[in-house]
Amino acid sequence: MRIVIYVAKIAVCIAVFAGCQKAEQTQTVKISVLRHVVFFDFKDSTTPEQIKTVEDAFCALPTKLDLIKDFEWGTDVSVEGLAHNYRHCFFVTFASEEDRAIYLPHPEHTKFVELLKPTVEKVMVFDYWTK
């Protein structure tokens, strides 16, 4: 009888330990992605129609390039006044540095950049791996 209880206790310990290991593995399996964050400060002379054209062209890139895993964008609504004239922010998500390396010189991206150039005063780009 003591052996049965002892074996049962060991089995419970093993099950608990395995469950903890599985939980730890699940937490560490989170896949990191590469975020390519782009901010635009448009020239004062840029018209709302030109800005809309840029927005539409940037938003079309994920439909043309399947290496873009996720995409979102928005305009500054901060009340802190620290945006330094950057009014638009775009998040482009890649699975790898290789995908980003293909994206940057890709004809669809370079075509977008050429469309953008006459309208923008400054561009800031910040890339990071998610944690």
pLDDT in tens, 46-94: 999 999 999 999 999 999 999 999 999 999 999 999 999 999 999 999 9
Coarse DSSP helix, strand, coil percentages of the chain, rounded to the nearest 5 percent: 50, 25, 25
* pLDDT score recorded for residue 37: 98
Listing from the earlier edge strand, what are the strands of the sheet with 88-94? 70-75, 88-94, 34-42, 120-129
pLDDT averaged over every residue in the chain:
87
In the predicted structure, residue 1 carries a pLDDT above the cut 70? no
- The CATH topology of domain 34-129 is Alpha-Beta Plaits (3.30.70)
> If you search the block for the tokens 């994206």, which residue do you land on?
103
3-state SS class at 83: coil
| Residue type, position 97, single letter | E
Closest CA to 87 of 76, 74, 77, 98: 76
